[in-house]
């Protein structure tokens, strides 16, 4: 009995702790679950999602846009090359067919769930289990539009290779946060703008433009099915894309979809939404992503200039001319109405802006030279210039100007010399003027490529040896159209004219007279024919020019309302073949002028008060009597070449720059150089290498010795009137 009593308490002692273990185990299990849940919560915590307004505000297109004066799109320019995306497209501006197709294919219960489609998740889990068991097929995933949007907003949520449960849970939680903070409309709008598409395109704006050639609002049901079909695999081929789009469209006849898929994959629609009317100006003015610039360009005039230039270049043939440019200005405001830097075709330098590139000016600078000497009263439109061979001694050597046709016309009036673009008279006019003074005048007219002084350019500046741009040319000639008043060109209509008041560069009288000469079809008949491309059915002044080596061809002119400047040539610098001023640039100038004045012909300018009219005769020339315009106070009734005795004394032989070689077989005293002079030279003396040679009117002979020599003609007062250099070898 005692033994039994002692055993029983021991049993009770050991059985009590066993019954108390469950609460402790449950507590520990709850604690462990809490810890695991906390760890899982922390491990799957998504990044903070931005607000809808912040996403909209941060959106930055890769493009910038150029518009004409009426708000029509001219061109766009890619500025950000990381990706291609256009302006943010509001949901109401996206075709309902696209919205329906995307929701149907990507997230059919989008409008009813809170960011995560739990039914789709359960279906995906069940499908996964059946696949692991070997009894099921792969089904559609459970990723919703909100989950994909979260990954677009933070790419860390969907990095390549991250397909584990943790990444998926982070994406789901981020989607729930979006659904709590955003409306469904905002989520769908953001998804359609952020979704990556084929190539570099991102978003419905870039996708609709580059893939379909349409605005998002204009996409039809076929477009919508193809767009939605691209979303799972943007790089899909035409066949795979067509099959997927057919399933989305739920149509038995997929003929139209297959055809559209082939066109989409080929990239045929890529440029339809961008008119591409001013690519060179777009490059010049668009420098920031998303920038929208409204210009002074008139789309109608821009298109007409492009058509005229393209037609002319195609007619000339790329074996002769590949490039060209056109600029049209409004005379009154300086607005750039057309800016064509090139039209492509078979150009080998299509990206170079021909309207802004500096090229050799040729004869197009002559009107400014004659305007300057007429303004100063040194010449008139009736003054006689000698078109005969001339050699000018310059610091860089002997300069021998020649006319375009290598012939000489003898005594000609300034009117005839400028209208026929004779070279030698222009050089003689520059001698009368001054090279530095003419260079300064060109700078004042806006030719800011002339950065050197006059001595650097020399007398060849009269024939356009300097390099200028087409825009500079147009505005300098516009100055003549505006009675000598210069103001800068305007690319932006918001720039008010009073910020840049006109500046007087040329006198109204000189501008009027030069304009009348350049509009005189009769005066240019000898050089250009009676019915050249420069002759219009209304008043217009024009000047052509061709640079050295036939590399550049210009035509610049104006009417009462417009100035049109045209350049054709080869931007790579090779010469043109058989292309002159009237066959190259002038036909384009004519076509553009006719388009500008359709229904409203140009009117001749009013004669300024500083101009007077006289009837003149020109004995000794081939020019008949005519009515002529003069700056008041310079008029004459008769213009004739001055007699030899009245001309400025000068050395006529040896010719400056000549090189003579001594013959060793002839005695030196039999090899003499005769010196001849012209004009009234009584009392004048000849100086050879700073030593007296004799009286000029008595003639002299030089005993040549090897070396370089300087011969000077000095008047009775000791002033040097003329000098020449020659060399003996």
- Inter-residue contact 457 to 477 (CB < 8 Å): no
Pairing of β 292-294 and β 63-67: parallel
Select the CATH number that applies to the domain covering 644-728 from these four: 3.40.640.10, 1.10.10.10, 2.60.40.10, 2.40.50.140: 2.60.40.10
For 380-408, the pLDDT digits (tens) are 999 999 887 766 555 555 556 666 666 78
Q: Measured between alpha carbons, how far is 584 from 713 in angstroms, rounded to an integer? A: 46
In tens, the pLDDT along 243-268 reads 898 999 888 788 888 888 887 765 55
On whether the CB atoms of residues 374 and 514 are closer than 8 A, the answer is: yes
Residues in the chain: 729
**197 and 230 in contact (C-beta within 8 Å)?**
yes
Topology annotation, domain 52-63+80-266: Penicillin binding protein transpeptidase fold (1.10.3810)
Q: Please name which of 390, 408, 407 lies closest in space to residue 399, comparing C-alpha atoms.
A: 390
Q: How far apart are CA 686 and CA 694, in angstroms?
A: 6
Domain positions in the chain are 1-43, 52-63+80-266, 362-490+498-548+596-631, 644-728
DSSP H stretches of helix in 490-597: 508-518, 525-528, 586-596
Question: What local confidence, expressed as pLDDT, does residue 396 receive?
Answer: 52
Give the residue from 342, 630, 293 showing the smallest Cα distance to 493.
293
Q: Alpha-carbon distance 607 to 601, whole Å?
A: 19
Report percent pLDDT > 90 for the chain: 46
Cα separation values, 109 from 146, 230, 464, 559, Å: 11, 20, 74, 68
The residues facing 613 across adjacent strands are 629
Higher pLDDT: 560 or 271? It is 560
Please tell us whether the domain made up of 362-490+498-548+596-631 is placed in CATH 3.40.710.10.
Answer: yes
Q: Is 136 helix (H, G, I), strand (E, B) or coil?
A: coil
Q: Model-level pTM?
A: 0.76
The model's confidence at residue 96, banded by pLDDT at 50, 70 and 90, is very high
Sorted by sequence, the CB contacts under 8 Å of residue 568 that are 6+ apart come out as 309, 312, 313, 316, 321, 323, 324, 325, 553, 576, 579, 584, 585, 588
Q: What is the pLDDT of residues 528-548, one digit of tens each?
A: 887 888 999 999 999 999 988
Number of H helices and E strands in the chain, helices first, is 22, 26
Q: What is the dihedral of CA 371, 375, 376, 381, to 10 degrees?
A: 70
Number of Cβ within 10 Å of residue 727's Cβ equals: 15
For residues 507 and 376, what is the distance between their CA atoms, to the nearest angstrom?
9
Ranking 247-256, 300-309, 622-631 by mean pLDDT, the lowest is 247-256
Helix (H), strand (E) at residue 462: none
* Contact assessment for residue 459 and residue 424, using Cβ atoms and an 8 Å cutoff: no
493: left (phi over 0), alpha (psi -120 to 50) or beta: alpha
């Amino acid at each position: 009995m005692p033994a039994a009593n002692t055993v029983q308490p021991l049993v009770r002692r050991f059985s009590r702790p066993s019954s108390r273990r469950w609460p402790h185990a449950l507590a520990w299990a709850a604690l462990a679950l809490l810890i695991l849940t906390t760890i899982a919560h922390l491990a799957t915590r998504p990044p903070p999602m931005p607000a809808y307004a912040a996403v909209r505000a941060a959106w930055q297109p890769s493009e910038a846009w150029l518009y004409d004066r009426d708000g029509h799109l001219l061109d766009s320019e890619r500025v950000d090359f990381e990706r291609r995306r256009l302006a943010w497209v509001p949901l109401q501006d996206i075709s309902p067919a696209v919205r329906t197709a995307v929701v149907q294919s990507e997230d059919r219960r989008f409008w009813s769930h809170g960011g995560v489609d739990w039914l789709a998740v359960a279906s995906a889990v069940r499908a996964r289990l059946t696949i692991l068991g070997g009894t099921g097929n792969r089904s559609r995933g459970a990723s919703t539009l909100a989950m994909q949007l979260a990954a677009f907003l933070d790419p860390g949520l969907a990095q390549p290779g991250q397909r584990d449960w943790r990444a998926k849970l982070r994406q789901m939680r981020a989607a729930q946060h979006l659904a709590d903070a955003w409306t469904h409309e905002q989520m769908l709008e953001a998804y359609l703008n952020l979704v990556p598409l084929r190539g570099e395109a991102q978003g419905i704006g870039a996708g609709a433009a580059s893939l379909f050639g349409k605005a998002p609002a204009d996409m039809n049901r076929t477009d919508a099915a193809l767009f939605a079909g691209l979303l799972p695999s943007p790089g899909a081929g035409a066949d795979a894309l067509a099959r997927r789009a057919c399933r989305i469209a739920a149509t038995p006849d997929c003929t139209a979809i297959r055809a559209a898929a082939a066109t989409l994959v080929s990239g045929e629609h890529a440029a339809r939404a961008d008119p591409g009317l001013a690519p060179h100006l777009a490059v010049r003015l668009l420098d920031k992503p998303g920038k929208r610039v409204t210009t002074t360009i008139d789309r109608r005039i821009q298109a007409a200039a492009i058509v005229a230039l393209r037609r002319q270049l195609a007619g000339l043939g790329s074996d002769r001319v590949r490039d060209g440019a056109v600029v049209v200005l409004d005379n009154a405001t300086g607005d750039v109405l057309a800016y064509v830097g090139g039209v492509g075709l078979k150009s080998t330098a299509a990206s170079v802006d021909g309207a802004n590139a500096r090229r050799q000016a040729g004869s197009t600078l002559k009107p400014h030279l004659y305007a300057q000497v007429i303004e100063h009263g040194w010449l008139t439109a009736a003054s006689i210039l000698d078109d005969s061979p001339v050699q000018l001694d310059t610091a860089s050597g002997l300069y021998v100007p020649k006319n375009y046709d290598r012939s000489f016309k003898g005594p000609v009036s300034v009117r005839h010399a400028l209208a026929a673009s004779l070279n030698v008279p222009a050089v003689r006019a520059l001698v009368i003027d001054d090279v530095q003074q003419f260079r300064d005048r060109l700078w004042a007219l806006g030719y800011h490529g002339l950065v050197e002084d006059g001595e650097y350019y020399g007398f060849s500046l009269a024939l356009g040896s300097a390099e200028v741009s087409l825009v500079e040319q147009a505005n300098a000639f516009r100055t003549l159209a505006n009675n000598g008043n210069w103001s800068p060109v305007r690319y932006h209509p918001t720039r008010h004219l009073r910020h840049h008041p006109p500046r007087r560069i040329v006198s109204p009288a000189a501008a009027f007279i030069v304009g009348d000469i350049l509009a005189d079809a009769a005066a240019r008949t000898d050089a250009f024919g009676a019915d050249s491309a420069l002759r219009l059915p209304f008043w217009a002044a024009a000047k052509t020019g061709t640079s050295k080596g036939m590399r550049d061809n210009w035509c610049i002119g104006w009417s009462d309302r417009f100035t049109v400047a045209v350049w054709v040539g080869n931007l790579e610098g090779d010469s043109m073949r058989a292309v002159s001023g009237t066959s190259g640039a002038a036909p384009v100038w004519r076509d553009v002028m006719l388009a500008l004045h359709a229904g409203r012909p140009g009117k001749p300018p009013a004669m300024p008060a500083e101009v007077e009219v006289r009837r003149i005769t020109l004995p000794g020339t081939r020019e008949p009597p005519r009515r002529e315009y003069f700056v008041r106070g310079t008029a004459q009734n008769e213009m004739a070449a001055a007699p030899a005795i009245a001309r400025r004394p000068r050395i006529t032989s040896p010719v400056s720059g000549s090189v003579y070689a001594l013959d060793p077989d002839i005695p030196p005293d039999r090899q003499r150089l005769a010196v001849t002079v012209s004009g009234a030279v009584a009392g004048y003396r000849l100086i050879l290498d700073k030593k007296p040679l004799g009286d000029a009117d008595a003639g002299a002979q030089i005993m040549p010795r090897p070396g370089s020599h300087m011969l000077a003609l000095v008047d009775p007062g000791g002033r040097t009137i003329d000098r020449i250099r020659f060399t003996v070898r």
